[in-house]
Structure 1
Amino acid sequence: MRRKKDNKRVGDELEEQQETRLRLPRKNEVFGIVIAVVGGSRMRVSCKDGKERICRIPGKLKNKIWVKDGDVVLVEPWPIEGDTKGDIVYRYTPLQANALRQKGFI
Structure 2
Amino acid sequence: MCIRNNTNNDEGIDPNAVNEDGTPIVRVRLPRKRNNEQFAMAELMMGANHIRVRCHDGVTRMGRIKGKIKKRAWIREGDIVLVTPWSFQDEKCDIVYRYLPPQADWLRKNRYL
TM range (shorter): 0.7 to 0.9
Question: 1:20 Cα deviation (Å)?
Answer: 2.3
Structure 2 counterparts to residues 59-98 of structure 1, below 5 A: 59-81=67-89, 83-98=90-105
Identity of paired residues, percent?
46
1:77 and 1:19 map into 2 onto residues whose CA distance is 30
1:36 and 1:60 map into 2 onto residues whose CA distance is 21
1:21 and 1:61 map into 2 onto residues whose CA distance is 18
1:72 and 1:61 map into 2 onto residues whose CA distance is 14
> How many residue pairs are counted as aligned between the two chains?
92
Which structure has the larger Rg over C-alpha atoms?
2
2:60 and 2:69 map into 1 onto residues whose CA distance is 22
- What is the TM-score with the length of structure 1 in the denominator? 0.81
Judge conservation of contact 2:41–2:79 (CA < 8 Å) in 1: yes
SS in 1 for 2:87: coil
4+ long deviations beyond 4 Å: none
Structure 2 counterparts to residues 1-106 of structure 1, below 5 A: 17=18, 18-27=24-33, 28-81=36-89, 83-106=90-113
- What is the TM-score with the length of structure 2 in the denominator? 0.76
2:103 and 2:68 map into 1 onto residues whose CA distance is 22
1:55 and 1:61 map into 2 onto residues whose CA distance is 13
Question: 1:57 Cα deviation (Å)?
Answer: 0.6
More helix by share: 1
2:68 and 2:55 map into 1 onto residues whose CA distance is 22
Unaligned ranges ≥5, structure 2 = 1-12, 19-23
